[in-house]
Amino acid sequence: MKFFSAKNEFLHEGYDQLQRQQRALDLKMTSVNRDKQTGTIKDYFVSLDKCTCVDFQKRHKPCKHIYRLAFELGIFDLDETRLNAQLSTTPKSVHAYFNPEIYFYAPIPKNFVVIDFETANDFRDSICQMGIAVVENNEVTTTKDFLIRPPYEKFTNTKIHGITFADVEKSPTFAELWSQIKIFIEGQIVAAYNMPFDLNCLVSVLKFYQIPVPDFSAFDVLENVRDCAENYDSELSYCINHRLVTVAEELGFAHDAHDALSDSVVAAQVQLWLSENFPDEDTAIHCTSLAAFFDGFAQEKFPLEVLLDFCKYNFKYGSRFSNKKHAEFFKLLEEVAARYENAALYKFCGKFYDEQENIPRAIELYRRAFELDSKSGVKTRIRTLEHTLKKNNRR
């Protein structure tokens, strides 16, 4: 009953697992042996820790058949109302851990941290090695390599990376190493080769140890490789695929594939090659939160134009800003506007309050924009709002 023990409750919380539980509601057991805690569903033989279906054989995680058997045995609850509620609030993928509205395109940073994980098995929180390569001013300046004891003794990926449980049995857990790792993540721009995989690993292991996900930004080196291969005639255009081992060989970088340290260093080298050969190329940068977004400007990691473009885009395609969700955003935006003395940012703040029908506040911010730049395009709007305010005050 390892899947249904108290310490493995987290296994059932992901979006995909909740979907399997939901599908289990529609299944009917062909037979059940309550003494042996086994059963059959059509042609599949099911126990509480195994199933002959393809889904279980590929993932080694509870499938819909296992959930149905556990429900029949009274070990696991399948409540449709609960499942619908959880599915409506559970992120579908790692990208959902980032604020979906806080991403933007920006020049590739000169300072970032590349991470790479190797896992013991198909569970994303089964991290057994982590590699880190720190890039400062377009140079790899620091590298770190951690062997990590995962929450499981089962190693099915040894044939890929060569690490066994015996190799990490006496190593610290991710939670014990977090104080050392956190400084490379929190408040940083993090990069990875195939970002969804590595960030899924990071988020999953933090969730397992009940550690809050910190504020940071991230971009995907693999996506940058694909973009440059598609849009420019270069060595990358002739690669048979864009796996890291293939790209490293094409560009002449020494690479020990599936060693987390080597993977992180080579991914950094690939990104630096891209930055050198395609200096005008932008990248999509995702943020975990507004705090991470504004941290980029506080530490001058991103140019001010990025913030302006972000606001222009959101207002252009129908305002996505609401008072409830974005008041804090515009409070922070005002602070940036004041620091940079930027009329355009004050105008965006004024427009936000204008759409929220907070006329006095909108006028105040529009006036500040006009004082800084008389051609900011707010003069007529100020007059209109002042007229509306006078009209309202007469009532």
**SS3 string of 53-103?**
CHHHHHHCCCCHHHHHHHHHCCCCCCCHHHHHHHHHHCCCCHHHHCCCCCE
Same domain, 150 and 280: yes
Same domain, 335 and 280: no
Does 292 fall in a domain? no
Alpha-carbon Rg of the chain, whole angstroms? Answer: 26
Does 383 fall in a domain? yes
Q: CB–CB of 38/81 below 8 Å?
A: no
Same domain, 134 and 157: yes
Does 229 fall in a domain? yes
Does 310 fall in a domain? no
- CA dihedral 44→47→51→52, nearest 10 degrees, is -50
The CATH number of the domain where 375 resides is what?
A: 1.25.40
Same domain, 149 and 257: yes
Tokens of residue 272, six digits:
């630096």
Same domain, 252 and 358: no
User: Which one, of 52, 18, 48, lies nearest residue 32 by Cα?
Assistant: 48
The CATH number of the domain where 111 resides is what?
A: 3.30.420.10
- CA dihedral 103→107→110→115, nearest 10 degrees, is 40
Does 297 fall in a domain? no
Same domain, 101 and 83: no
Same domain, 196 and 169: yes
In eight-state DSSP terms, residue 288 is S
Does 273 fall in a domain? yes
Report the number of distinct structural domains present in the chain. Answer: 3
Domain around 70: 2-90
Does 295 fall in a domain? no
Output the pLDDT for position 107.
87
What's the rounded Cα separation, in Å, for the pair 62 and 354?
51
pTM above 0.85, yes or no: no
Q: Phi and psi at residue 270, in whole multiples of 5°?
A: -65, -45
Burial 154-175 (b: 16+ CB within 10 A, else e): ebebeeebebeeebbeebebbe
Does 302 fall in a domain? no
Which of 226, 261, 285 is the C-terminal boundary of a domain?
285
In eight-state DSSP terms, residue 369 is H
What's the rounded Cα separation, in Å, for the pair 114 and 371?
44
Same domain, 105 and 160: yes
Output the pLDDT for position 326.
77
pLDDT by residue for the chain (395 residues), tens only, comes to 578 887 667 678 767 788 899 999 989 999 999 999 999 998 899 999 899 998 887 667 889 999 999 999 999 999 888 888 777 666 555 555 676 667 788 889 999 999 999 999 988 899 999 999 999 999 999 999 999 999 989 999 999 999 999 999 999 999 999 999 999 999 999 999 999 889 989 988 998 898 998 999 999 999 999 988 888 888 898 889 999 999 999 999 999 999 999 999 999 999 999 999 999 888 988 888 877 887 777 777 777 888 887 787 777 655 567 766 678 788 888 888 888 899 999 999 998 899 888 999 999 999 999 999 999 899 999 999 999 988 888 76
Which of 265, 285, 305 is the C-terminal boundary of a domain?
285
Same domain, 51 and 163: no
Which of 29, 55, 90 is the C-terminal boundary of a domain?
90
Same domain, 259 and 351: no
Same domain, 244 and 169: yes
Tokens of residue 232, six digits:
């420019």
Q: H helices within the chain, ranges in order?
A: 15-24, 54-59, 64-72, 80-89, 158-161, 165-168, 174-181, 195-208, 221-231, 244-251, 260-277, 290-298, 304-316, 323-340, 343-355, 359-372, 379-394
Same domain, 101 and 168: yes
